[in-house]
Chains A and B, each alone.
Chain A
Amino acid sequence: MLEIKDLRAAIDGKEILKGITLSVKPGEVHAVMGPNGSGKSTLASVLAGRETFEVTGGSVSYLGEDLLELPAEDRARKGIFLGFQYPVEIPGVSMVNFMKTAINEQRKFKGMDPISASDFLKLMREKKEIVEITSSLTNRSVNEGFSGGEKKKNEIFQMAMLEPKLAILDETDSGLDIDALRIVANGVNKLRNKDNATIVITHYQRLLDHIVPDHVHVLYKGRIVKSSGKELALELEEKGYDWLKEEN
């Protein structure tokens, strides 16, 4: 599904990703862990198409296509979803209008007619249940005045609405209390199937108690320094990241 080969990316001339190679197959969950500043969020941003980062080398193929050639909106329409570490507040744009526009843009891209009002409402209702989100949240402006937990739930709600093939969740656990963490993780698990894949970016192991990964990768100074099964996460929890600094 996703083949990242020797990916390099820089911001303001400073190289952050220094050659990343990673392969994700349908049905898999990959966890990318690593200390602060190792390039985790940069990897997520580059995959989602944020232009502030300049790709300086390597390639990314997604469903057989050159992902790096596509603008952010086309990547989303083709099934890539980025769960933001810091979801943006957009006063004046209602959640309903936002989701309706997003869904219809996706449908237009697939050559489908816009969704009917009743189907849309039904879809909203259905997906809200997955993340235990209250009606009042979807009546408000996008993320405006949402608590940290509500913002993260809202990310998973959007993911549920858009049904991506590849979801990249950037530190979705940061700032969540244990209940919100459970709800968010449950949401992700409910959306898992054999055809889609998830990349979970996290600093801590605790999210991985709920979302069990098939592969764990450790990112350090812009490179994947270790890849293994889920037991690697436990090892990291125990040993911290200091050993990395000694080895690399």
Chain B
Amino acid sequence: MTPIELQEELTSLYTQHADTIAKSSSETINNRRVKAMEDFVRLGIPSKKTEEYRYTNLMPYLKGEYTYELAPARFSVDLNDLFRCDIPTLDTNIVLALNGFFYEKNQIDRLPEGVIISSLAKASLEYPELVNQHYSRYADTSLDSLAALNTLFAQDGIFIYVPKNVVLDKPIQIINVGFSLQNLRITRRNLFVAEAGSQASILICDHTLCKSSFITNSLTEVYVGENARLDIVRMQNENDKSSLINNSFIYQAANSHLSSNTISLHGGLIRNNVFTKLDGKGANNETYGLFFCKEDQHVASFTHIHHAKPNCTSDQLFKGVLDDNATGAFNGKILVDKYASKTLAYQRNHNILLSKQAKMNTKPQLEIYNDDVKCSHGATVGQINEEALFYLRSRGIARKEAHHLLMYAFADEVISKISLEPLRERMNDMVEKRLRGELSHCENCAIQHN
């Protein structure tokens, strides 16, 4: 199958179901489909010729027989019974999404006044103005064809709204579940709005609940208002036959703070695109990522941080460990506008290859149109430090254990940046299990990767 054939298959899938999709959605969501279709048709499925996807060959992962669901699947089991997430000291508000749709049996605790955690489809009907003000305002479908594809098919996902000056003590935990007996294509669309002066933290866990292959096209738009603070931690833990395309579009107002930590543990193909616009003075952005891949996995991180206003800071750190035939890519760009003086922007990408066949492509980029800035970038691809390994072994630590200690130390730099302590501990635990090759599922949680 060629990219063009896949593109045709997807456009005809849409045309065939356009009416059903439109009927299930509000005007707000439907209004954006026309441009999305134009952009998707123009851009096509990314191929090797697409600069941003030069090192990510999507086709082997995206082709094949997949079904598509136009309405939420119904199962007799209650997913709430399956999930007993026991981050011991972490009490979260759990929100489940099943195959991209807000789960109908979600049991959301009482929330502070004005806070909304809801289905995006439902919210766009109940709060049309609010959703319309943000929906598809940050996701530029002309930048990425898969973002266009997401906007074309978008029906549902999670909508989170934190009103002005509200501080949410309890983190919100979104658990995305893929559950289907047949191979399935999923479209998932989230919108998070943190109004001025508000604070919240969101943990997003991506899981597959069975051995079917899933292709998920996920897009999350995030608005962080003036002086607001939002911390997002993502744990990607799907089965190794599944593909996850995860686009994030982040808009930050003046003096806002956003931190994002993406920990990729399992999955066949993982592509994380982050487009951030720092559009107010003094905004601060931290974008971190850590991935482990082996066998024939591919994990790619693409970042685009746009400093549009003065005095903003951004810090990026991405680390990866690749084994077997795994391949990875990092493509990070810092764009500093001519008005964005006093910008501080840093970017680092470090990778360890554990086998001769593993391959990592890294491409840090700076594009600066202002003289009064401090920017730096650095990238390394190396092997495990043999000197350190021998040092540990000379103290009686077995090679395997020494190796484990070093891998863990490498990962720790990213994990330690997670600000919420219980979350940090849990991620530590998950990474530790991943390194030891044990099943990466949480205690008491029925979800298992394969």
Q: Smallest distance from the beta carbon of A154 to chain B beta carbons, Å?
A: 11
Interface pair B408/A76, CB less than 8 Å apart: no
A190 within 8 A of partner (CB): no
Q: A90-B406, A92-B409, A92-B412 are in contact. Are A82 and B394 (CB under 8 A)?
A: yes
Q: Max chain A CB contacts within 10 Å: which of B388, B393, B410? A: B393
By a CB distance below 8 angstroms, the chain B residues around A77 are 396
Q: Smallest distance from the beta carbon of B428 to chain A beta carbons, Å?
A: 12
**Which of the segments A24-32, A94-102, A114-122, A231-239 contacts the partner chain?**
A94-102
By a CB distance below 8 angstroms, the chain A residues around B390 are 50-51, 72, 88
Q: A105-B398, A105-B401 are in contact. Are A93 and B393 (CB under 8 A)?
A: no
B63 within 8 A of partner (CB): no
Partner of B409, one of A51, A72, A88, A91: A91
B382-431 at interface with A (beta carbon < 8 Å): 385, 387-388, 390-399, 401-402, 405-406, 408-410, 412-413
One digit per residue, 1 when the CB lies within 8 angstroms of any chain B CB and 0 when it does not, for chain A 22-60 equals 000000000000000000000000001111000000000
Q: How many angstroms from the CA of A202 to the CA of B392 in the assembled complex? A: 23
Q: How many angstroms from the CA of A87 to the CA of B405 in the assembled complex? A: 17
Q: How many angstroms from the CA of A158 to the CA of B396 in the assembled complex? A: 11
A241 within 8 A of partner (CB): no
Interface pair A105/B409, CB less than 8 Å apart: no
Q: Which secondary structure dominates chain B's binding surface?
A: helix
A162 within 8 A of partner (CB): yes
A-side interface residues, number (CB < 8 Å): 29
A175 within 8 A of partner (CB): no
Partner of B396, one of A93, A97, A106: A106
Q: How many angstroms from the CA of A50 to the CA of B387 in the assembled complex? A: 10
Interface pair B391/A73, CB less than 8 Å apart: no
A71 within 8 A of partner (CB): yes
Q: How many angstroms from the CA of A125 to the CA of B387 in the assembled complex? A: 28
Q: Smallest distance from the beta carbon of A90 to chain B beta carbons, Å?
A: 5
One digit per residue, 1 when the CB lies within 8 angstroms of any chain B CB and 0 when it does not, for chain A 190-217 equals 0000000000000000000000000000
By a CB distance below 8 angstroms, the chain A residues around B397 are 73, 76, 101-102, 105
Interface pair B408/A92, CB less than 8 Å apart: yes
One digit per residue, 1 when the CB lies within 8 angstroms of any chain B CB and 0 when it does not, for chain A 6-35 equals 000000000000000000000000000000
By a CB distance below 8 angstroms, the chain B residues around A92 are 408-410, 412-413
By a CB distance below 8 angstroms, the chain A residues around B388 are 88, 90
Q: Which A-chain residue is minimally distant from B400 (CB atoms)?
A: A73
Q: Which A-chain residue is minimally distant from B395 (CB atoms)?
A: A102
Q: Which B-chain residue is minimally distant from A141 (CB atoms)?
A: B409
Chain A contacts to B: CB under 8 angstroms: 48-51, 71-73, 76-77, 81-82, 84, 87-88, 90-93, 97-98, 101-102, 105-106, 109, 141-142, 158, 162
A sample of 9 inter-chain contacts (CB < 8 A) reads A49-B394, A71-B393, A72-B390, A90-B392, A101-B397, A101-B401, A101-B405, A106-B396, A109-B396
